[in-house]
Amino acid sequence: MALPIYMDRVIAPHRSLTPQGAAVLLGVVMAFNVLVAIFLLVLGAPPVLPFLGLDVLALWLALRASDRAARRVERVRVTAEAVTVSREDEKGARTVWTSPTAFTRVDVDQPGEHETRVRLMIYRKRLTLARSLSPDERLSFANALRDAIRAARSERWS
Q: How many CB atoms lie within 10 A of CB 94?
A: 10
pLDDT of the residue at 28: 95
Largest separation between any pair of C-alpha atoms in the chain: 83
Listed in sequence order, the residues at least 6 apart from 61 whose beta carbon sits closer than 8 Å to its beta carbon are none
Instruction: State the average pLDDT over residues 116-138.
Output: 85
CA distance 5 to 76: 11
What's the mean pLDDT in 75-87? 90
In three-state secondary structure terms, 52 is helix
Taking the whole predicted model, whether its pTM rises above 0.75 is answered as no
Residue 147's SS3 state is helix
